[in-house]
Structure formats: structure tokens, C-alpha cells
């Protein structure tokens, strides 16, 4: 009789261990971190997307670009190769949402100051006003770290097409020249494959906190 209970005890211990392993595996599977979405033009508010690409459902990427930063340096996609970056659109004379957006971008800059994988990129929507000297003055006043954050200007048509055909981020004015733009509060999170992985309200502190966490999450995808 004792031998019977001894055998049963061994079976119970073994079965308990097996159950614990199975539960652990199930828990691990259920708690695998889901990757961030990859946004396509068809998923974005049509007012922010050029009509020629509103139907696109896959393979969308940020196009090649060539712009000039606050130091007069030409900035291209090569400067952001193999980088995660946050992009936005602004103008230096904006007195409404831009100061808030810039403060929040500076907050992100502080978080990534020692992170070689992450950068920032701000495009002016008024390049006729925001020349290199104006961007430099603004950069100094806002505490921009030139090694982490480029404020860029350039050809208005080129910026317009980037905004509406790549970053899916601005609206059209509708009553000015062909390439007039109304920037939005959107911050875009771009991955190392030049894909859009998130949109965030650049005026909302909670959204900025989520963006910072999503940068960390995106980095884990590359581990």
C-alpha cells in the first residue's frame, strides 16, 4: 500500500511540474509583445494624403529626400539610414501649436540624447520664410542638439510632396499656390526601413509619453 502511494506521489509531482511548464509556455506565448503597426496611405485620414496614393495598402515608405538643415548642411535619407526617427512639420513663426510641439520634441531629444539609433527631423512648411539663418536662430533658442535633430528647409514642392506622399502629415491650404500646406500636430515614428510605425499628437503630453515607449518597443524589434 505504501509503495502504491509512493508511486502516486511521484506521479503527482511529475504531473505538477509538467503542468507548470505548460502554463509557463502558454503565458509566454500570450505575452509576446506585438509589433507596432505599419501604416499605409489607405489607413490614414484622406485629408492628409495625396489623392494619387490614397488607395495604397502596402509597401509604403518614406521617399528619398534632399533638404538643408539649420547649419546649411544637405540632409538626405542617408543621414537617417539604419535609424529610427521622429518626424514632424512646423514653421518658426507659428505662435499656436508649434511652441508646444517643439517643447515636446525637445523632451524626446532629452530621452534619446545618448541613443545612436534614434534621431529627430522637423520640416518647415514655410521654406520661403524659414531659410538657414532663420532655422539656426530658432534652433539655438529652442536648445536643438545638432547631432540629434535636424530642422530642414528646401524646395517647397519637394517638402509638400514629402508631407503628403510620404509622411501623410499635412493638409492643403486650398486658396494659395499649388503647394500651400497647413501643418498638423502629428509626430510620425519612422522605422529603419523608412516605414511609418505610429502617429502621435505632438501637443499631448500623454501621446508623447506613448511615443517614447513606442521608440523603446520598436528598438526591441531589432534585437
What CA–CA distance (Å, rounded) separates 122 from 197? 17
User: Mean of the pLDDT values across residues 197-220?
Assistant: 98
pLDDT value of position 28? 45
User: Same structural domain for residues 127 and 210?
Assistant: yes
Q: Is 98 annotated as a binding residue?
A: yes
pLDDT surpasses 70 at 51: yes
Domain span holding position 175? 41-221
Question: Is residue 19 annotated as involved in ligand binding?
Answer: no
Q: What is the CATH number of the domain that holds 58?
A: 3.40.30.10
The band of 33, judged by pLDDT with boundaries at 50, 70 and 90, is: confident
Answer yes or no: are the C-beta atoms of 179 and 147 closer than 8 Å: no
Same domain, 148 and 215: yes
- 158 annotated binding-site participant: no
The answer to whether residues 191 and 131 belong to one domain is: yes
Q: How many domains does the chain have?
A: 2
Residues 6+ apart with CB under 8 A from 147: none
Residue 88 and residue 27 in one domain: no
What band does 27 get if pLDDT is binned at 50, 70 and 90? Answer: very low
Please give the pLDDT value at position 174.
66
Spatial neighbors of 62 by CB under 8 A, at least 6 apart, are 77, 162, 166, 167, 190, 194, 195, 196
Residues 19, 113, single domain; the answer is no
Q: Is it the case that residue 133 has pLDDT exceeding 70? A: yes
| The predicted structure's pLDDT at residue 13 | 58
Are 214 and 113 in contact by the 8 Å Cβ rule? The answer is no
- pTM for this predicted structure: 0.85
85 shares its domain with 178: yes
Q: Are residues 17 and 46 in the same domain?
A: no
Q: Are residues 71 and 166 in the same domain?
A: yes
Amino acid at each position: 500500500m505504501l509503495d502504491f502511494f509512493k508511486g502516486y506521489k511521484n506521479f503527482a509531482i511529475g504531473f505538477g511540474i509538467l503542468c507548470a511548464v505548460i502554463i509557463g509556455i502558454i503565458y509566454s506565448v500570450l505575452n509576446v509583445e506585438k509589433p507596432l503597426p505599419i501604416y499605409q496611405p489607405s489607413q490614414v485620414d484622406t485629408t492628409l494624403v495625396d489623392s494619387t496614393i490614397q488607395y495604397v495598402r502596402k509597401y509604403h515608405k518614406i521617399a528619398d529626400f534632399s533638404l538643408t538643415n539649420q547649419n546649411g548642411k544637405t540632409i538626405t535619407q542617408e543621414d537617417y539610414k539604419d535609424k529610427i526617427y521622429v518626424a514632424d512639420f512646423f514653421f518658426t513663426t507659428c505662435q499656436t501649436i508649434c511652441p508646444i510641439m517643439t517643447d515636446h520634441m525637445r523632451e524626446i531629444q532629452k530621452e534619446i540624447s545618448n541613443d545612436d539609433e534614434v534621431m529627430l527631423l522637423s520640416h518647415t512648411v514655410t521654406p520661403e520664410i524659414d531659410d538657414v539663418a532663420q532655422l539656426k536662430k530658432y534652433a539655438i533658442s529652442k536648445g536643438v542638439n545638432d547631432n540629434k535633430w535636424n530642422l530642414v528647409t528646401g524646395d517647397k514642392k519637394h517638402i509638400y510632396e514629402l508631407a503628403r506622399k510620404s509622411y501623410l502629415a499635412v493638409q492643403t491650404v486650398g486658396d494659395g499656390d499649388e503647394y500651400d500646406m497647413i501643418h498638423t500636430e502629428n509626430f510620425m515614428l519612422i522605422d529603419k526601413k523608412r516605414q511609418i510605425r505610429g502617429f502621435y499628437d505632438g501637443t499631448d503630453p500623454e501621446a508623447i509619453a506613448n511615443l517614447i515607449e513606442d521608440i523603446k518597443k520598436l528598438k526591441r524589434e531589432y534585437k
